[in-house]
Structure 1
Amino acid sequence: MIPRSNGSLYTHIENDIATIEFGHEASNSFPSELLARLAKAFDTLSNDESARVIILKSEGDRAFCAGASFDELVAIRNLDEGKHFFSGFANVINAMRKCKKPIIGRIQGKAVGGGVGLTSACDYCLATEVASIKLSELTIGIGPFVIEPAVSRKIGLAGFEALAWDASQWKNAYWAKEQGLYARVFETISELDKEVQLFAEKLASYNPEATQQMKKISWRGTDHWQELLIERAAISGELVLSEFTKRALEKFKK
């Protein structure tokens, strides 16, 4: 566990199923420290033989993830700080991509920005019907550059563009299912949790060597992401210092 001021992160393993649960009082958003802990958790579980499958979930019954910390975003003062900030989700996506274990996303509520990136980097997602998604980055003068490869890989370039260009609009869970982001959508969280557990138990019963090979095949052609996502982080890190973005952030803050 880490201090509540920086959010929380719990990892639990039972019956070959690992669960990572993150939380933050600001709609389960991510300060940099929490992102670093999440990336480390995936790296650790990847080599833990007691875990065959990973469930990624967030606290509460409302938002799944509101993206990166707004407070840290507005505090960026130079290019190095900007690149470091936006590299947070890059490191998590790369950790998920390289993780040897299949990752199930349990998406109980809305996902924005980096939260959509996390969802896209899961191998299989189950969601509730209130789990709408939005890429709002253009509205504040930056763009969803770091998460684009993960989102486009999951729902295609057309799906990504539908989200990214229409940055002020939510797409509902059924739209996300049609695009391939969610495998199934449920009316209630209790139904979601039941099906997530059943599906995790099925995956955990499969030959771990086979599931590991499945991950390699599914993520083929992404080795260059190690450098690509950091390059994208630098683009956002520069844009966040622009006068346009500073004005937009100030307006948003008010």
Structure 2
Amino acid sequence: MQPYVTLTLNGHIGVIEFFHPEHNAMPSDNLKKLQNTIVEAGKNDAIRVIVLKSGGNRTFCAGASFKELVAIDSAKSGQQFFAGFAHVINAMRKCPKLIIGRVQGKAVGGGVGLAAATDYCLATKFAAIKLSELSIGIGPFVIEPAVSRKMGQTAMSQMTINAEAFYSAEFAKDKGLYADVFDGVEALDEAVKTLAKKLASYNPEALKEMKAVFWKDTAHWDDLLIERAKISGKLVLSEFTKETLKRFR
């Protein structure tokens, strides 16, 4: 199957789905499509609430595209690469509609950032999380503000330092990333559907104002996340990272 990003309307619910055959990794073009689709959904008056999900029943999102990562050859292209998730996270926080995350499977790196940038996130017990960036010589700099804001600095540092370990869905729930965890996809989808329908029946102006309150004091993220992308863009060119990436190829 080919990568895609789609927006489907179901009454006043807008469902955004992304997919990539490589464990729902996100290459730059898919990230750009996802950013634009979130902006589009935010401007659509028929949509009152958004559901963000990925295709398939396994991995939610494996993070940034590894093929693009190994091909980076300059600080500029490195910054542009890592800015992909920065633009998506900023689009999510600035979107005037509440975003429900539907996480059916594992989330790694930028995938954890996507989950953290939703306003309310539901998952299955298979949705373990991992921040593996430090193990290859970079770090989760771009997604850190979103993850720390949702899970706290202690959990963020714990996952970052123990970079090769997956943390369970229950851990993610205990730390505030997931609002609830379900035994399987069927129960997850029913819970997402029920919540989305309830929210879509509420006063849209109240939802919009509440969203603004949830994301207060984050206006500086437009600049902050791009500065973080610069850091990763430089580190990916280091001899350590280049040698480490060769072992994965």
TM-score of the pair, normalised by structure 1: 0.97
Cα distance in 2 between the residues matched to 1:57 and 1:10: 10
Aligned to 1:12, what secondary structure does the other structure show?
Answer: strand
Cα distance in 1 between the residues matched to 2:183 and 2:222: 37
Instruction: Give the corresponding residue for 1:208.
Output: 204
Is the contact between residue 6 and residue 37 of structure 2 (CA under 8 Å) also seen in structure 1? no
Instruction: Choose from 81, 89, 97 the match for 1:101.
Output: 97
Instruction: Give the corresponding residue for 1:83.
Output: 79
Instruction: Give the corresponding residue for 2:232.
Output: 236
Is the contact between residue 53 and residue 101 of structure 2 (CA under 8 Å) also seen in structure 1? yes
Asked whether 1:184 is paired with 2:180, we answer: yes
Aligned to 1:249, what secondary structure does the other structure show?
Answer: helix
Aligned to 1:201, what secondary structure does the other structure show?
Answer: helix
Cα distance in 2 between the residues matched to 1:184 and 1:202: 17
Query: 1:108 is matched by which residue type in structure 2?
Result: Q
Offset, 1:121: 0.1
Cα distance in 2 between the residues matched to 1:195 and 1:155: 22
Cα distance in 1 between the residues matched to 2:7 and 2:106: 22
Q: Deviations over 1:104-131 (max 9, x none)?
A: 0000000000000000000000000010
Offset, 1:9: 0.9
Cα distance in 2 between the residues matched to 1:171 and 1:193: 22
Query: 1:34 is matched by which residue type in structure 2?
Result: N
Aligned to 2:5, what secondary structure does the other structure show?
Answer: strand
Aligned residues: 249
Cα distance in 1 between the residues matched to 2:18 and 2:232: 25
Offset, 1:10: 1.1
Instruction: Give the corresponding residue for 1:196.
Output: 192
Q: Percent identity?
A: 55
TM-score of the pair, normalised by structure 2: 0.99
Asked whether 1:153 is paired with 2:160, we answer: no
Offset, 1:195: 0.7
Instruction: Give the corresponding residue for 2:30.
Output: 34
**Ranges in structure 1 where 5+ consecutive residues have no aligned partner:** none
Cα distance in 2 between the residues matched to 1:55 and 1:102: 9
Query: 2:181 is matched by which residue type in structure 1?
Result: V
Instruction: Give the corresponding residue for 1:246.
Output: 242
Instruction: Choose from 49, 53, 64 the match for 1:53.
Output: 49
Cα distance in 1 between the residues matched to 2:205 and 2:156: 32
Asked whether 1:11 is paired with 2:33, we answer: no
Offset, 1:150: 0.2
Q: Deviations over 1:48-105 (max 9, x none)?
A: 0010000000011100000000000000010110000000000000000000000000
Cα distance in 1 between the residues matched to 2:11 and 2:23: 30
Cα distance in 2 between the residues matched to 1:126 and 1:215: 18
Instruction: Give the corresponding residue for 1:140.
Output: 136
Offset, 1:165: 0.7
In the TM superposition, 1:105-124 aligns within 5 A as: 105-124=101-120
